[in-house]
Structure 1
Amino acid sequence: MILEDDVRASYMLESTIQQDGDFSVVAVSESVADALHQYSIYQPMLIFVDITLPDGHGIDFIHRMRKQGAKCDFIVTTAERETTTIARAVQLGVSDYLVKPIRISRIHQSLSDYKIYRKQLSNDTLDQIKIDTLLRKTPPKEVRRTPKGIDATTLSNLKQLLSDEDLQEFSAEDIGERMNVSRITARRYLEFLESEGVVNLVLNYNTGGRPRRLYRRVS
């Protein structure tokens, strides 16, 4: 379930979550009151919670749900970076804390981490190594520069293209045509560059329909 009063942020979250075949968004709420009602109907396992809401505070909502014994987990989505807010969220046992503007790759990472967490809890017992991993005590693995599905040469050519043509805002289709690759392939490379902080995803709502996914170079 998503609790978010910003329509654009809510749409971005929902569309990104729906890309993961292991998750399905059962409800979207714009207020605490509606979220409480929707929860009673759908009983979601995971709730994405914004902090600043029209009728309350996201952290207070999580605290209330915990006191009521809600059997679900929470991921906070907010622009707030104050340590007091973060500390309260951690004390309430949130699964993750995503700072806006949220990268799509970071949402995918959060969902992936959550799946690992749920899988580990399905076991009757855990050894120390798995407990450390569950509590995020294990140092993160070194990230490969070019993960599976990302060819170093193609990636280098794309970076060169963005530099040579001074492209500022573009779609996967634009890049696919210039590099003679499919739109899906171009999007995969652009999403990798987005995870690296080279480009940002922007949604163009001036389409008369579903927003168009565009990318913009980071200055």
Structure 2
Amino acid sequence: MNKIPVMIVEDDVRAIYTLESTINQHAQFQVVAVSESISDAKMQFELYTPTLCFVDISLPDGNGVEFIGEQRKKNTLCDFIITTAEKDCSTVKKSVQLGVCDYLVKPLRMSRVMQSLDDFIPYRQQLDGKNELNQGDIDSLFGKSSLSKPRQTPKGIDDRTLSSVRQLIQQNKMNNFSADEIGKKMQVSRVTARRYLEFLESEGEISLILNYNTGGRPSRLYQVNGD
């Protein structure tokens, strides 16, 4: 299967690591280019013609929103996702007007980046190869809610286990903890523990911290928000 080519336009080293490692972990996406400036991004964009592009707003030699606007004027088929610390309404509104797929606020969370990638797949599939869309297709593209009652938790997340993880963290006043620690205390695999921690992160209850003091690849630690 051909992977979806992705380009990153970003000058923040930690954001680049988060984006590149998360994107390349996804089975259907691959980073083909990384640019740390607008001038380099323009050259790389023409060379690699990405299908999806993550763009920071504040770059050393220009504005990422303006870069997206320039590419839109060229009728590019690429889709864009904003990555930024800016949250003012005017910037968000301008980005929406340019038709960006998503708007990710820094510090970036791996689970949120993965969610953005997962959301992009059905979005692209609905548009590719179709000359006309029905109302259901259009509603889905514009994020209109379904009439059916949504699940309380996503597939793979058991309510009881989730409650036990929350209780474990709260009762032990845990902070700077890893999926390995949670897995050992819960007597579950590291993969399972990580799945529940990523869900809690997506809910804003905990935050992922990358520990760079490992002498090698940074380790993943979690902190309870609000402490």
- Counterpart of 2:217 (choices 193, 196, 210) is 210
Aligned ranges 1:1-219 → 2 under 5 Å: 1-122=7-128, 123-136=130-143, 138-139=144-145, 143-219=150-226
Which contiguous aligned blocks of 4+ residues in structure 1 show a shift greater than 4 angstroms? 140-143
Q: Does the aligned pair in 1 maintain the 2:18–2:108 contact within 8 Å?
A: no
More moved, 125-134 vs 198-207: 125-134
Counterpart CA distance in 2 for 1:18 and 1:142 is 33
Report sequence identity in percent: 57
Counterpart CA distance in 2 for 1:120 and 1:75 is 18
Partner secondary structure for residue 47 of structure 1 = strand
Counterpart CA distance in 1 for 2:186 and 2:107 is 29
Could you say if the C-alpha distance between residues 142 and 112 of structure 1 is closer, same or farther in structure 2, counting changes exceeding 3 Å? farther
The superposition leaves residues 114-155 of structure 1 with CA deviations (integer Å, 9 ceiling, x where unpaired) of 11111111223211221122233x126754233221222221
TM-score (norm 1): 0.93
Q: How far apart are residue 169 of structure 1 and its match?
A: 1.0
Code of the residue aligned with 1:94 in structure 2: it is: V
Counterpart CA distance in 1 for 2:177 and 2:28 is 30
Could you tell me which runs of 5 or more consecutive residues in structure 1 were left unpaired when the two chains were aligned.
none
State the superposition RMSD in angstroms: 1.5
Counterpart CA distance in 1 for 2:140 and 2:163 is 34
The superposition leaves residues 19-44 of structure 1 with CA deviations (integer Å, 9 ceiling, x where unpaired) of 22111111111111111111122111
Code of the residue aligned with 1:81 in structure 2: it is: K
Q: How far apart are residue 46 of structure 1 and its match?
A: 0.5
Alignment length (residue pairs): 218
Could you tell me which runs of 5 or more consecutive residues in structure 2 were left unpaired when the two chains were aligned.
1-6
